[in-house]
Every structure is written in C-alpha cells, then in structure tokens.
Amino acid sequence: MSGLDNAIHGLEQALASSPQQTWRGLIRQRMASVHEALANDRSRVGDAWQAARDAHLKRERKTLVERMRRLDATEDINPVEVRRLLLDIEHHRQRVNDLVYDSVSMDLGGSE
C-alpha cells in the first residue's frame, strides 16, 4: 500500500467511527495525512505520448489539494463533504493507476 492508500484508509476508518467529542480532531488529523500524501504524490510517467493525461492529473491533484485545504479551514467538518472529497480522491488515484498501467502496457507491448 502506498502512503496515499494508507492515509485514505485511515480517514475512511475515522469517518466510520461513531462521532464523539474527539471525532472532529481525529477527522482533521486523518485529513492532514491524506492532504500530505496527495500533495507529495508525484507522477511516475515520463512518456511524451501521455503528457496531456499527466498534465490533467497534475491539475486535478492541485484542485483536490485546494479543496482539502478549504474544507479543513472550515469551523465545522461536514462528513458528507469529506466523503465526497474522498470519493473524488479515489477516482483521481484510479486515473493515476490507469496512466501507469497504460505506460507499462505499451512498454511491454500490450494488446492495445
């Protein structure tokens, strides 16, 4: 599991726990872990033919990091918004994995 995977899993567990007095603090802490992992996640693709997809993913990651920053700056954390953001991060992660897979598939002479 990557750092982003672990951070997402930790946030999902925190969201699933029952709200308590320390719940918001736990959610903020786990969101900070996801934020850091997402901000430090770098593209692993260097192929010129995938430059447009890679650039799109970089812009998308920047947007997700900014959404996390705005959400964390709010006084009261809305679990629905956090889950929505988490779903968008999961979709981003899948697109990154697809890009890496396509790169390896072409390098190895895949069927496409």
What is the residue-level pLDDT of the chain in tens, covering all 112 positions?
Answer: 578 888 888 888 888 877 666 777 888 888 888 888 888 877 666 667 778 888 899 999 999 999 999 988 888 888 889 999 999 999 999 998 888 887 776 655 555 5
Q: What is the dihedral of CA 63, 68, 78, 85, to 10 degrees?
A: 50
Residue ranges covered by each domain of the chain: 3-107
The whole-number pLDDT of residue 41 equals 78
Q: Tell me the one-letter amino acid at 103.
A: S
Distance, CA of 89 to CA of 55 (rounded, Å): 16
In this predicted structure, what is the pLDDT of residue 87? Answer: 94
For the whole model, what pTM was predicted? 0.74
- The pLDDT value recorded for residue 89 is 93
